[in-house]
Structure 1
């Protein structure tokens, strides 16, 4: 529905932005499953800051983020990446989303792995009309008694 001056309503813009963000996350998933670092890079801002599950505490910039994914492609022969229960909130040219994600597939050794479910949060920024990931954080719950990640949980 549009207003009398034919500009989209606020709710129409929010819905369109949410759909665009979901498409962008979908392109990221496709790039990961294809082992295509260029496609993966297209999902991120150049100054992305990532709090990933492997050290160090922070990965800053596209090159650092892509190094993480390159290690995945070096380890896996075939990658399956799932994002489940994605929720998105849009506000102007920024948005955030959160979901569960799982990286699994076939290792270079030929062994199959079911991977682990992690929690992922996306901080998105709309730049030149395109939604990009400016920040992501991936985590696993912590078993307080043992100090170890609880990697056997499923959504």
Structure 2
């Protein structure tokens, strides 16, 4: 992975998180592929395409009013090849922490989010 790719991906993910904190829908959607897929915590568990993805934010913003603690990348690790990359880490939403995995594709020289997976750990026992 080149340092340039890692820097571009990290900057793009930070801008995405900032757009969520700012409740900036154009910024939230700006760097996703049209055919993106997301697996999320609330129903629907799977969303395909930008229209379905956009609708998931209506539910999120029903409970979150944005602001500095509403959506933060706590940890993020990035692995990138020539045209595919993965990022995974911990996402902070208000007082909770959840897992985040993002799959990216390079399209026309720009990294785009093609897959998101959000999950909460579940205690067993």
Indicate whether the TM-score tops 0.5: yes
1:34 to 22, 30, 49: 22
- Are 2:103 and 2:113, in contact at CA under 8 Å, matched by a contact in 1? yes
SS in 1 for 2:42: coil
Work out which of the two has the higher radius of gyration on C-alpha atoms and give 1 or 2.
Answer: 1
- Once residues 113 and 87 of structure 2 are traced to their aligned partners in structure 1, the CA distance between those partners, rounded to angstroms, is 10
**5+ residue gaps, structure 2:** none
Q: Quote the residue 2:93 is aligned against.
A: 103
**Counterpart pick for 1:84 among 74, 95, 101:** 74
* TM-score (ref. length: structure 1): 0.74
Q: Which residue of 2 aligns with 1:4?
A: none
What RMSD, in angstroms, separates the aligned Cα atoms of the two structures? Answer: 1.3
Instruction: Spell out, residue by residue over 1:14-48, the C-alpha distance to the aligned partner (whole angstroms, 9 max, x if none).
Output: 11001000011011011101101111001211111
Q: Deviations over 1:58-109 (max 9, x none)?
A: 11111211211222223322342111220000111100010100122xxxxx
The equivalent residue for 1:17 is: 5
More relative contact order, 1 or 2 (CA 8 Å, 6+ apart): 2
Please list every run of at least 4 consecutive aligned residues from structure 1 whose deviation after the TM superposition is greater than 6 angstroms: none
- Following superposition, the deviation at residue 134 of structure 1 comes to 0.3
Query: Of 36, 42, 52, which aligns to 1:48?
Result: 36
TM-score, normalised to structure 2, is 0.91
Provide structure 1 residue ranges, at least 5 long, that are not aligned to the other structure. 1-10, 105-113, 146-155
